[in-house]
Every structure is written in structure tokens, then in C-alpha cells.
């Protein structure tokens, strides 16, 4: 298993200016690791990360869109995988942070924890390629090549929490962040 913050630090080096949709615990880690106007964070609408990412990928086909989803969140909307596979945006990279829990809601186990294979679901839904990483060195060695491929790509990241990031919801949803995202997206 990898620590989430260490894994996301590696990903950030490979996505310096990409649009990144992140939710829940990954959102707090991501904005700390890669503060950027093109961070679209959302906490509270469980299951919608991939839908937001799909809309952005279709609306901005010239930009890579990375989605940092949670396994509990994705479980709420597995049907989105079929839509993404059907539309097949070439600029769409879907990462699921798999820890087997609804982490933000108290760490309760998700249904099927340890059984459900999200990469298999994505493959069956039509994603171009799928990957599973549980080793940080392997992830670091291979993520660059993964991000060079045409999407849609699905990546399972088997994670445990890392260093605790500040859970400041007001800062995450600050109006200036939304305005900066809107301006950066328009450029």
C-alpha cells in the first residue's frame, strides 16, 4: 500500500498544469500538494467526481483532465463508468483512491471492500486501459507513460492515509478559488 500524500506528490510532478478534479480526502491533500487555479475541488456530492471530470474533458478537449476519486464515492455512481467508456474522451484520466472505507465519513467500510475490482468495471465499461498500483516505486516509474496514453484511462491507487492535511472547508470552497478556476479554464 502507498501513502496517499506521497503518491499524489508523484502525480503532481507529472501534471503541473492539468485540470484536476478531486474529492474528499484526496481534495485536501491535492490542494496542499499542488495549489493551482485549475484545481476543481468538491466535497459533499459523493459520486460526482467522474461526472464533473467528464464534463470538463468534453468541454476542454485540448487539456488533460485528471479525476481523483474515492472508492466509496465511485461506488455511488458506477454507471458513470459506462458513460465515460461510451463517450471515450481521449483526455480523461480517472484515478480511484482505494482504501476500502468512506474515509471522510468516519472510516466506515464500503460494501465489497477487498472484493470489488474497479479496474475490471472500467475495462468492461470501455475504458481504453486500466492500471492498479500498490507500490510507490512502481507508480513513480510508470505514471509518466500512463499519462502519455490516450484516454479514457483508469488507475486504481491502493492507498492508506498519509500525513494529515488540514480539512478547511471554507478555504477549499473560497470564492476566489472558484473565480480563479473559471478564469484559468477560459484561457
- Give the pLDDT score at 149: 98
- Give the DSSP letter of residue 29: H
Mapping DSSP onto H, E and C, the string for 85-108 reads: HHHCCCCEEEEEEECCEEHHHCCE
- CATH-assigned architecture of domain 2-186: 3-Layer(aba) Sandwich (3.40)
Work out whether the CA dihedral 52, 53, 54, 57 comes out positive or negative: positive
Q: Is the pLDDT of residue 67 over 90?
A: yes
What does the alpha-carbon distance between residue 56 and residue 81 come to, in Å, rounded to a whole number?
Answer: 15
pTM (2 decimals)? 0.93
Q: What is the pLDDT of residues 18-54, one digit of tens each?
A: 999 998 788 889 999 999 999 998 766 678 899 999 9
- Give the DSSP letter of residue 37: T
Work out whether the CA dihedral 28, 58, 48, 122 comes out positive or negative: negative
Amino acid at each position: 500500500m502507498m501513502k496517499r500524500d506521497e503518491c499524489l506528490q508523484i502525480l503532481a510532478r507529472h501534471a503541473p498544469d492539468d485540470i484536476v478534479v478531486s474529492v474528499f480526502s484526496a481534495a485536501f491533500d491535492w490542494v496542499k500538494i499542488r495549489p493551482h487555479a485549475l484545481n476543481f475541488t468538491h466535497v459533499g456530492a459523493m459520486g460526482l467526481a467522474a461526472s464533473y471530470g467528464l464534463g470538463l474533458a468534453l468541454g476542454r478537449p485540448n487539456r488533460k483532465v485528471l479525476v481523483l476519486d474515492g472508492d466509496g464515492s465511485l461506488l455511488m455512481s458506477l454507471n458513470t463508468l459506462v458513460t465515460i467508456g461510451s463517450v471515450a474522451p481521449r483526455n480523461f484520466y480517472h484515478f480511484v483512491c482505494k482504501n476500502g472505507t468512506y474515509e471522510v465519513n468516519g472510516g466506515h467500510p464500503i460494501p465489497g471492500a477487498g472484493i470489488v475490482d474497479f479496474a475490471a468495471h472500467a475495462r468492461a465499461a470501455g475504458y481504453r486501459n486500466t492500471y492498479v498500483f500498490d507500490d510507490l516505486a512502481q507508480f513513480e516509474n510508470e505514471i509518466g507513460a500512463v499519462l502519455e496514453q490516450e484516454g479514457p484511462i483508469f488507475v486504481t491507487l491502493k492507498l492508506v492515509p498519509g500525513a494529515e492535511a488540514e480539512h478547511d472547508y471554507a478555504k477549499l470552497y473560497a470564492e476566489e478559488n472558484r473565480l480563479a478556476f473559471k478564469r484559468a479554464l477560459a484561457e
